[in-house]
Chain A
């Protein structure tokens, strides 16, 4: 038993076996897409279809109602394979070089011009493609290289992606009609025509597909069509996006002052490396930076690669480069994991030390005053007046703000407990990190002075400072800066 599909060729209905249908459809689609480009071609295609209908009509008898795979194969043998048709066409075009030139003029391709090259002929090839002086592309590359180094990436990717113009016809293709706005518009229009055509074709399809399948097909046709039509636009956006991100990332690793921290006391800038160094003092920080660069840049480079392919309509089926990229990326992930485990070791052991001080006090009211810490940035003394910031990084050091609370007790004396916490790769280093926390406070007359921030050197190891004041209920603590009893 076979499932048959009923099709309409030149107004005549035929029942075709499913397997035969696939072959026939594939065959006719190929011919259609080849001939449909010109009016003459359309006529030829109509003639061929009507010939197909005729040949099938001869097969159908009262005993044999169905077109089989053998019939379709016989048909293709009689009419000829698509290659046979196309070969003839090529012969047509070949006689003179002038005609050939005319033909290739329509389709312009991007090649590297290795005859008028500086490095690999990328700029020269681009200049033919866009019809712009090649000097301009060279300047763009040099400028992009100077700012963030992305020019180098783009150049190398283009070098890989664009084939070299080797043969005479490739050289002619390279120099064809310049790509300008009107041509792009023409391209987009053609793509929309194709969408319309495809939609129409789907409607003609009398195969017994269910409704949803048809809708799905329609949507994919429209979406892929739109993507094709706007491929160049997307390509352009992809390139802009990836170049911008690459410049920022590569720049922030290579150059200083790319990360910016803005607070009330001013603007400080750092390099990415400086921030990373807060978490580790190991020499393997370079591995970490290297691996982060790989992990971030490779996906962006692939976006750039795709963008360039879309914009310049390069058709390469190069699987090696994506594969190599993927392997390097995995390599980066492995190094990154190893390095972060190493950094994580700095945080394995925690320790806390609490100091308790009982104040020598006989007053019912005592005052709290916040001592604003100063730090010198770029030669200027800056006072940390903002107590909202929990974590402040300056050129020289890191400051954290302490946690602060007041608790009533039954005891008759005031006790200040300061708990300092830190982590390290062992108990000793954790203790060492606690020792490195600099926090000052004192009690003079009836006033408590607390620093607004504690200084934790240049290494962040989860340091924390918690201040708790235990006081009798009858003692009031007052302070302008302590509306709420929290820092």
Chain B
């Protein structure tokens, strides 16, 4: 595995969690909705990778879910954000904004040199 791949996937992983929390916000959503939004934003390519992530976030107490019957197909899991998740989301937003502005400052400054 190349280092490039590794860094990229590490970055995406962190961002993904942040995005999931953002998508959920105050609403609840079902896995396929979340996936659809992430796919549209080109954050993920295949759906499969998201299921382990959702389960892990649920297990670490950031998300909770409840079952809802579906007219078509099996019952669906509707995810919503927990209090802990909300707190974490807020924290992540701040970190993200700080990071974006820091990174922007550096890359803008250096791109003039290139």
Contacts and interface: CB of A to CB of B under 8 A. Distances in A.
Given A12-B73, A80-B48, A88 B9 contact: yes
Interface string B6-21: 1001100100000000
B59 to A, nearest CB: 6
Nearest to A94: B6
Q: What band does the interface of chain A fall in when counting residues whose beta carbon is under 8 Å from B?
A: 20 to 34
Given A47-B77, A91-B13, A80 B55 contact: no
Interface in A83-122: 84-85, 87-92, 94-95
Nearest to A43: B55
A51 B32 contact: yes
Given A79-B47, A94-B1, A89 B74 contact: no
Nearest to A9: B74
A57 B72 CA distance: 6
B23 interface: no
B31 interface: yes
A11 B74 contact: yes
B24 interface: no
Interface residues of B, number: 25
B55 to A, nearest CB: 5
B46 interface: yes
Given A43-B55, A80-B48, A50 B74 contact: yes
Main SS class of interface, B: helix
Contacts of B48: 31, 48, 79-80, 84-85
Contacts of B70: 54
B85 to A, nearest CB: 18
A396 interface: no
Contact of B52 (A50, A54, A56, A89): A89
B103 interface: no
Contacts, number: 81
Nearest to B52: A44
Nearest to B44: A80
A24 interface: no
Interface string B29-65: 0011000000000000111110110111001000000
A106 B74 CA distance: 37
Nearest to A88: B49
A35 B51 CA distance: 11
B10 A80 contact: no
A51 B74 CA distance: 8
B75 to A, nearest CB: 8
Contacts of A78: 46-47
A10 interface: yes
Contacts of B52: 35, 40-41, 44, 85, 88-89
Contacts of A388: none
Nearest to A42: B55
A472 B45 CA distance: 112
Contacts of A50: 73-77
Nearest to A57: B73
A245 B49 CA distance: 54
24 contacts: A10-B73, A35-B52, A40-B55, A43-B55, A47-B55, A50-B73, A50-B75, A50-B76, A51-B31, A51-B47, A51-B51, A57-B73, A58-B72, A79-B48, A80-B45, A80-B47, A80-B48, A81-B46, A84-B45, A84-B46, A85-B48, A88-B13, A88-B52, A94-B1
Given A11-B74, A84-B46, 15 more contacts: A10-B74, A31-B48, A44-B51, A44-B52, A50-B73, A53-B73, A54-B73, A54-B74, A79-B48, A81-B46, A90-B1, A91-B1, A91-B6, A91-B13, A94-B1
Closest 5 CB pairs of A and B: A80-B46, A80-B48, A57-B73, A54-B73, A10-B74
